[in-house]
Amino acid sequence: MSEDQFPGWHGTTIIGVKKGGEVVIAGDGQVSLGQTVIKGTARKVRRLSPGGHEIVAGFAGSTADAFTLLERLEAKLEATPGQLARASVELAKDWRTDKYLQKLEAMLIVSDGVDIFVITGAGDVLEPEHNVTAIGSGGNFALAAGRALMDTDLSAEEVARKAMAIAGDICVYTNGNLTLETIKK
């Protein structure tokens, strides 16, 4: 849907940080409709356990669309146990070619504790070069802050928390109510 048809939901910043043998995915809790904060405590980071393999995922965009994608990702992971990269590529291929999925407006950051990927509706499965990635309305702010903090002695969780705080100070669609999940391998 275009902005003309629907005023647009805004209000997500998700960051993924891989450092020191762990991956942290953190997301804020704000959902806004236009200039109004609709909810400040949304949970946009989730743990998945398809086939007994632990995965952490964060999403930006439409919640219903993101849940559809998470369900599809779980199905791909059950078909290819322990192969996050393959499942992610299969999801991205379906997302790009399926007429129903093409209309979904969301992005995902996913990790199994070893790899971290951004999955987009353009068919992309991106692995960050500098072990930090971010999506959503405040994603560029969180990414810049996270990259600057990666060369410090801070842990992955500390980098994620500080980067999210910086993004929240800059982006009006991002608040400080964090959901944070850590996965180690």
- Find the CATH number of the domain harbouring 49: 3.60.20.10
Residue 184 falls within a domain, yes or no? no
Residue 1 lies in a domain: no
* 182 within a domain of the structure (yes/no): no
Q: Could you tell me the residue range of the domain that residue 72 belongs to? A: 9-177
Q: What is the pLDDT of residues 123-171, one digit of tens each?
A: 899 999 999 999 999 999 999 999 999 999 999 999 999 999 999 999 9
Q: Is residue 54 part of a domain?
A: yes
- Let me know if 6 is exposed, middle or buried by CB neighbors in 10 A (0-12, 13-18, 19+): exposed
Q: Is the pTM of this model over 0.75?
A: yes
Q: Which residues are catalytic?
A: 12
Distances (CA, A) of 20 to 17, 61, 143: 10, 29, 18
**DSSP-derived 3-state class of residue 80:** coil
CA 130 to chain centre: 16
Residue 106 resides in a domain: yes
Question: What's the number of domains the chain is made of?
Answer: 1
DSSP 52: G
Whether pLDDT at 96 is above 90: no
